[in-house]
Amino acid sequence: MNQGNIPAGYWRRLAWSLEGTAEGSKSICYSIQSINGGTASVTRTVIVDGTNPTNWHGFLPDWTNDPTPNCSIQVQDALSGLNTSELYYWYWTAATGTRGTFACTTSAANGSTALERITATDVPFNQEGGTGQNQVYFRAYDRAGNFSDSGWQTVKIDLTAPQDWRNFTVTSVGGTGLTPTCTVQVRDVLSGLSVSAGAYYRFSRDGGSTWSSFYRASITGSDGTTAFQTLTATNVPFNQQSATQNKIQFAVRDVAGNWGYSPQYTVATKYTTTLELQNASGTIGQTVTLQATLRRVSDNAVLSGKTVSFSV
């Protein structure tokens, strides 16, 4: 195309449009010839992009215990790439209605054509809910001005620890009587228990003044269960006889990350004993003396001064 004459010593902006051009990266060469026969040219790349950003997926978080969580999602633009200064979000609760527009943050470079994550930071939902009470919506532009939306995403928030501890039971006393096995039941009513995070217990031998570190307990069920589950602490090593000084406490987590702690239960323990009878054979008409020895299983110590009754 001929763009006319340019007087010596003056600038001119040259503009033209490309119509019907297929999408993609185009190389455009502009050459100019001066009136005295000299030439010059310049080549530039133009990306023709009529396609919206796509590939929305990977929304986070799943369950969270943060009342003002970061919410993020992945999106991609394959031609001109994402415009990192035009990434937006809105949020909604019944109390606030729709709030926005706000700018997302991202670590993506401007014009990135890779799958990138964009983030709505510290969204102030400030309430629990896992079924649509808290929602967020994203919009991303590419560098050519095309945009697309993620649709409303549900943000699941659980701020309540596992609860309703019940049915604490000593199910066996152990071989010595001093290492009982204890069970208790608990549930979580929103995100559910995290069975894969494990259950724990700690114990005290001085009435709760000092405590052991936490040990693993077993737990029934699977991740996300909202039904009562049973925790078991096997053979808790109190190793002392006491009606009042042995205490145990359980810990368990929900899927959203809230830890719950049981009440401190008292576990009364008593020594287990064995009774050995010496040979008592004799002759009719003569007196036979019965002899028995009472021992403590934990250390095999002989216990004296005890009354033993025989029935023959």
Two tokens, residue 210: 């000092």
Which is nearer to Ca ion, 47 or 170 (by Cβ)?
47
Which is nearer to Ca ion, 146 or 249 (by Cβ)?
146
Please report, to the nearest 10 degrees, the dihedral formed by the alpha carbons of residues 275, 276, 282, 286 taken in order.
-50
Which is nearer to Ca ion, 133 or 212 (by Cβ)?
133
The least CB distance from residue 115 to Ca ion, in Å, is 14
d(CA 159, CA 226): 15
The least CB distance from residue 256 to Ca ion, in Å, is 6
The least CB distance from residue 225 to Ca ion, in Å, is 12
Classify 271 in phi/psi space as left (phi over 0), alpha (psi -120 to 50) or beta: beta
- Chain contacts with Ca ion (rule: CB under 5 A): 49, 51, 77, 79, 142, 146, 158, 160, 188, 190, 254
- Tokens 């936490």 locate to 214
The least CB distance from residue 142 to Ca ion, in Å, is 4
Q: Tell me how many helices (H) and strands (E) the chain has.
A: 0, 22
- Tokens 């620890």 locate to 161
Which is nearer to Ca ion, 72 or 148 (by Cβ)?
148
Which is nearer to Ca ion, 143 or 247 (by Cβ)?
143
Residue 184 and residue 171 in contact, taking contact as beta carbons nearer than 8 Å: no
The least CB distance from residue 55 to Ca ion, in Å, is 11
The least CB distance from residue 204 to Ca ion, in Å, is 27
The DSSP secondary-structure symbol of 193 reads: B
Q: CB-hemisphere CA count at 13 Å for 162?
A: 32
d(CA 238, CA 178): 6
Which is nearer to Ca ion, 105 or 160 (by Cβ)?
160
The least CB distance from residue 100 to Ca ion, in Å, is 23
- What percent of the chain is helix, strand and coil (3-state, nearest 5)? 0, 45, 55
Q: Pairing state of beta strands 259-261 and 247-253?
A: antiparallel
Residue 184 and residue 265 in contact, taking contact as beta carbons nearer than 8 Å: yes
Which is nearer to Ca ion, 77 or 116 (by Cβ)?
77
